[in-house]
Chain A
């Protein structure tokens, strides 16, 4: 670091009383000073330089000096980035390319997270959970047929048109689903009727301010109860490209549950997937229903997909693509609580979102 004397300090002190254009020689001194700055970035010297610059009393000159320093810094940084990009990890001077930090990469590791390789313990537990007879029945040599899921969709007491429309839409998206108006029936009666008519799950959509705002999903007869917060609900007619037709679907959709890593996440994923009957095989064009978990928000999307092979006129490197057309409603779920047992059985909470305890870190996610 170059030692710099501060001739101008005295000068500016002297000139403080005089307001007027800066004297020519002091200006030159400034320029000289700035020209003497090191072009190579040596961080400590830059910091030292900035500190010294801070004692320039004149704001205009001080800012001009800072600007030059910053420009030099920026240039050095850009040069380093260029070098790094060009040479990759070999350029020891610039350092290896770094992965940008994201919440996903900085996520606090959760003890219950299962890797992609799978976990025998988790698999064993899942083979014995409430959804096994719906989801995994083909597993053991296909001995029993899977229990066919049947969903009853209803809503809270007095509910606006939009919520009712959403419920109807849901019932059309999920195969084998039925929408029933609530008509102020007590929940006990609703659940008893559902059990009698062999529904496997009941979904109750709650409302706030005339918009659907909560979703309560209960599996029957012994299933757990998921309480979700609903947001960003868009009906099919409100999609950016609304589908023209309104045909009821006859074929079971593919169900994707993306990015559910923890044990709780997997349970939620299974609970949501157990509403849908199994699709036997992957067709080349059909529907796909996605529950995508990102940072504890579960995004629901419903598309029609078709596999498109590149035609004979395509470029040699062209890959097959899967074209998607969005069809069904869109909504976002956020898990609020998970209770064992069906609704009304007073089962204990497996998981309950307690804001003050659980939301203390921005990097902690539960699903």
Chain B
């Protein structure tokens, strides 16, 4: 024979494993508890007529205790899957608990409402919170840091960049990179100018045979003015870029040549008179 009062007397006064006390209140950690508090009418153990609403894997069920089977704890609880439609679910609850305690019916409906709210909020949270916390291993971080430092030393960035840029510049402007003694070049240039003047004086017919030195100015050549060595001043000029006729990307390994772009520069051909 199952006496609720007897059970309550025992577990309330001596020991209940589900009970947890704080300074202000007593809580019940039993999963079937309707309110979560440790009370005479909330206690699932001490009430043979008892019902709850619980969520299992996203589905909400109405659990009811069957008084006739109170002596068989494993088979004591019956459950009903509540309808997805709110009104029909409430109807189900009211139908199943029709002759039950008013208090239990109201508390069950209240708990059902709360469970729905919780579900809604957790679904919204999953959608909005995108930051996933990823654990870092200190050892791994330290190791990566060390290896990065060593790789940086090995990279020799400034040298590598300079080399690569010189390669590209050489491919684009090969005449700039002729290995010529500059002083001698200047001298020879002056000599040519002097001789040109002399030729002009002497005979024009001879000149026709020789190929003339042509200076062809294709376009307003900004770069000729920029012999000034201040880099920063140059950036102010901000030339307008022509529509992107893009050069094919070249992934440089040492020795890969860049494709020469279409030139728009002055073409200067200097003829040396051989004496």
Contact = CB atoms under 8 A, between A and B. Distances in A.
Please indicate whether A and B come from the same complex rather than being unrelated chains. Answer: yes
Interface of A: 102-104, 115-116, 118, 134-139, 142, 145-146, 148, 156-157, 184, 186-187, 208, 229, 231-232, 244-245, 247, 249-252, 254-261, 266, 269-270, 273, 277-285, 288, 290, 292, 294-297, 299, 301, 303-312, 314, 316, 319-325, 332, 334, 355
For the residues of A in contact with B, the DSSP-based class is loop
B267 interface: no
Contact of B145 (A231, A245, A303, A312): A231
Given A292-B155, A299-B152, A146 B244 contact: yes
Interface stretch (B41-49, B82-90, B246-254): B246-254
Interface string B136-163: 1000100011011011101101101110
Contacts of A332: 148, 152
Contact of A279 (B179, B223, B247, B253): B247
B258 interface: yes
A355 B140 contact: yes
Contacts of B248: 135-136, 138-139
B253 to A, nearest CB: 4
B157 A312 contact: no
B188 interface: no
A135 B223 contact: no
Given A247-B235, A304-B235, A322-B166, A266 B251 contact: yes
B128 A292 contact: no
A116 B231 contact: no
Interface stretch (B27-35, B111-119, B169-177, B211-219): B169-177
A278 B151 contact: no
A297 B153 CA distance: 12
Nearest to A135: B249
| Interface size class of chain B, counting residues whose CB lies under 8 Å from the partner chain | 35 or more
B155 A294 contact: yes
B148 A232 contact: yes
A266 B231 CA distance: 32
Contact of B181 (A294, A316, A323): A316
B182 A311 contact: yes
Contacts of B263: 281
Contacts of B131: 156-157
A284 B253 contact: no
B171 to A, nearest CB: 7
B256 A310 contact: no
- Residue picked from B183, B240, B258, most chain A C-beta under 10 Å: B183
A252 B243 CA distance: 11
A116 B253 CA distance: 6
- Residue picked from B165, B171, B172, most chain A C-beta under 10 Å: B165
A269 B166 CA distance: 21
A86 to B, nearest CB: 28
25 contacts: A116-B254, A137-B244, A138-B245, A146-B245, A148-B244, A157-B130, A186-B130, A229-B144, A245-B232, A247-B236, A252-B241, A254-B168, A258-B161, A270-B249, A277-B246, A280-B245, A282-B169, A282-B173, A290-B164, A294-B154, A306-B234, A307-B166, A309-B176, A312-B182, A312-B186
Given A157-B131, A231-B148, A256-B165, A145 B243 contact: yes
A299 B247 CA distance: 23
Contacts of A136: 246, 248-249
A288 B247 contact: no
Interface of B: 127-128, 130-131, 136, 140, 144-145, 147-148, 150-152, 154-155, 157-158, 160-162, 164-166, 168-169, 171-173, 176-177, 179, 181-183, 186, 223, 226, 229, 231-232, 234-236, 238-249, 251-256, 258, 261-263
B238 A250 contact: yes
- Residue picked from A139, A257, A307, A322, most chain B C-beta under 10 Å: A322
A120 B169 CA distance: 26
- Residue picked from B157, B160, B181, B182, most chain A C-beta under 10 Å: B157
Nearest to A147: B244
A154 B143 CA distance: 29
Nearest to A187: B130
Given A292-B157, A297-B152, A277 B244 contact: yes
A278 B181 CA distance: 35
Contacts of A309: 176, 182
Contact of B247 (A281, A303, A324): A281
Nearest to B256: A116
Contacts of A307: 166, 169, 176
A277 B240 CA distance: 14
A297 B148 contact: yes
Given A156-B131, A187-B130, A247-B235, A278 B247 contact: yes
Nearest to A256: B164
A119 B72 CA distance: 77
A13 B181 CA distance: 79
Contact of A260 (B157, B240, B251): B251
A266 B253 CA distance: 11
B223 A283 contact: yes
Given A247-B235, A280-B242, A282-B172, A261 B253 contact: yes
Given A231-B148, A316-B181, A284 B235 contact: no
A273 B250 CA distance: 10
Contacts of A311: 182
B255 A142 contact: no
A145 B145 contact: no
Contacts of A303: 161
